A and B are shown apart, each in its own frame.
Chain A
């Protein structure tokens, strides 16, 4: 009996384990982004949005939806992936991963796959929540999903590195807080300044969902 060249069952075990952890923490995993999004709409959508003009023919409230999705996608991806691999390191259960017939690629695939799935679910839940507040029209659903998947995977891979690098939970928080949270804000700022002078010239925001 010789072991297979690819331990698909091992990858699946990690994926299932991580998704199970997500279900167990469903309340914090889903409620927090939903509440945050709702607050964003109350603050930006209602308070500021009513004074804003349309951007490239899109109402301000709808215009910020992709931005909110991406913001959550970035932070959730990094948080989920870094936490996912840091937990076994912290509790010591990583011994089992290391002693299992799993390659580094398979381990990453299991953890990053689960983390990317989670953050995509969160992004889609935000989209659904936003739909309750503003009119969201998705022009290219397939492109949108592909884009979400690519961004989620990229940031989850980065999160995995953070989880391996971090020596404690404090360091685990540093990257999302200092680098990731500010960067979409600055990106949003630059997008807006590019949009403002000539609204018609650049109507597409970061994902092609609200154009």
Chain B
């Protein structure tokens, strides 16, 4: 069961159809490796939260199985759930409870004996120790989120789900959150997080899964995905339309659009040299003027569109 090569979570053929007729998941197969940080990317409504909710026991699957650390999440729910901690997307808290009480309550719910030493360590780690007697509604949004994490970790889970951990969180707190996730991983916790920020996946994840319209369309190592995501596009609105791309510009991968009034240059945004300054210098040497310019990074949305169309084509 604790064989390190065995996946800590294996999901097979998971589907979910809501009573409204919405097919939220259409047969998801996924294996999460022990000790990794896995980022689940997807636009809103793609099925990320549904997938997490099924694994954590909040939503019943329509079909398919999930095994968490060797325990089926339905037949053996007690063992499965005691291995899992969940930080939901929304800040659901008991407004009138003190921090210490609400974290201890979570530990109790999961059937663990009281352990004030561990709770203290947890609160100190999350910089909540000074606020242990404050009631929840007095806390700022960022602190509430940290309390939610403390609650999720109160029963020392092996697997932690973070649903949009940095949604609506300021830059500084986001950094803190990323550091925390790395520390948790070092302590041996497997982390699955959902996000629609590409830089978040980039910063934290070992592997990335892309989910769209209830289907897991890609699971890849982060480094592989980033290569695909790294393309940028420069568009120049020319002062004078051109009939064809001058041969002097053939060193750059440029093409004409919009009846020759737009020049488009696609480059690798992650490369050390973009080639833009030299392109512009050459253009000015040639006397090609432009009225406006803009750059566009291939967004997650573009990647989804590409992936979905690729899938349809194949």
State the A residues within 8 Å of B (CB): 2-5, 7-10, 12-14, 16-17, 20-21, 24, 91-93, 95-102
Contacts and interface: CB of A to CB of B under 8 A. Distances in A.
Most chain B beta-carbon contacts within 10 A, residue among A3, A4, A24, A91? A3
A13 B80 CA distance: 20
Contact of B86 (A8, A16, A99): A99
A95 to B, nearest CB: 5
B214 to A, nearest CB: 21
Given A95-B58, A99-B57, A9 B78 contact: no
Contact of A96 (B79, B106, B112): B106
A18 to B, nearest CB: 11
A13 B92 contact: no
A9 B113 contact: yes
A83 B95 CA distance: 15
Contact of A93 (B58, B80, B93): B93
Contacts of B105: 13, 16-17
Nearest to A98: B58
29 contacts: A3-B79, A4-B78, A4-B111, A5-B78, A7-B111, A9-B113, A10-B108, A13-B105, A13-B107, A13-B109, A16-B108, A20-B101, A21-B96, A24-B96, A91-B92, A91-B94, A91-B95, A92-B90, A93-B92, A95-B58, A96-B109, A96-B151, A97-B109, A99-B57, A99-B86, A100-B110, A101-B79, A101-B80, A101-B110
A4 B79 CA distance: 9
Contact of A95 (B78, B88, B110): B88
Interface string B103-130: 0011111111100000000000000000
B191 interface: no
Contacts of B80: 101
Given A9-B113, A91-B95, 7 more contacts: A16-B105, A16-B108, A24-B96, A93-B93, A96-B151, A99-B58, A101-B110
Contact of B78 (A3, A24, A93, A98): A3
A8 B78 CA distance: 13
Contact of A9 (B57, B93, B96, B112): B112
Interface string B64-96: 000000000000011111101010101011111
Closest 7 CB pairs of A and B: A13-B108, A92-B92, A3-B78, A101-B78, A100-B109, A101-B81, A7-B111
B56 interface: yes
A105 B86 CA distance: 22
Nearest to B57: A99
A60 to B, nearest CB: 43
